[in-house]
Copies of this chain bind each other. A is one copy, B any other.
Amino acid sequence: MFDIIVKFFDRDPLRRSGRIVASSDRAGVGTSEKRTRWSVGRTRRDTQRERTRAALVSAAQRMLADGRTAASVQEVTRMADVGHGSFYNHFATKDALFTAAIEEALEDWARLRDAAVGGIDDPALAFATSFRMTGRLQRRHPDLVRVLLSAGASILVSERGLRADAKADIARGIDSGQFSIPDAESGLMLTGGILLGLLQMLDADPRSDAEAAADEMAQRALMALGVTEVEASEMARSALPPFPDLVVSHN
């Protein structure tokens, strides 16, 4: 449904070498671990298997976005247009599928962040940029964000997604003296909560000014971490890097 392909070909040796051809192939945008597992020496059968799994995950993401988690396995396989029996080749239960759907949405989100803030050294600025880009993401990919909202506050403690990177930004900001929050874990839950509040607010009011709201909330998140109001306001209104060039394939 929303396989996000971040087009940074020059960062991706496998893509450049021509080993990956299909632009809808997740392998080219995954972590290096994934790249290795999926793209080196894969057979036609692996590819077919992976397509079936991707179709199931995509269908589950659509159902999560629509709040239809009570759907049966049969409804999922029908939406995914795969055979009913193939479901159990990939997932033991429907819950396992929904968990995978949320985890993959979190990974898409983390890839977006990497592409957007990769070159920023200042931890407070990297944090603010990542936060502001995520607010903008809601308007570009509301379904992806709705999958995350459907998972509830528990995504704040998921090891998938951008938790590790965001926590590292906060820890560096504490070390540099920019943030007064006593520990990085509290800072992560504090600002992760604000981000959920922002995304829920934007989801509930599709016509509001998402950029202004994201910038205001980024400022407030910086203030909560201990940055002064004047500095936080400046940092949350500075020029942004270009939005990563995304191809979203609604398979």
Contact = CB atoms under 8 A, between A and B. Distances in A.
Interface in A166-221: 180-182, 185-186, 189-201, 204, 213, 216-217, 220-221
Most B C-beta atoms less than 10 A away, residue of A180, A192, A194: A194
A180 B149 contact: no
Interface in A137-177: 149-154, 156-157
Given A195-B193, A216-B186, A200 B149 contact: no
Nearest to A93: B70
A30 interface: no
A181 B70 CA distance: 39
| Chain A interface size, under 10 / 10 to 19 / 20 to 34 / 35 or more | 35 or more
Contacts of A122: none
Interface stretch (A17-25, A45-53, A223-231): A223-231
A94 interface: yes
A149 B189 CA distance: 14
B182 A192 contact: no
A189 B213 CA distance: 11
A113 to B, nearest CB: 18
Interface of A: 69-70, 94-95, 149-154, 156-157, 180-182, 185-186, 189-201, 204, 213, 216-217, 220-221, 223-226, 229
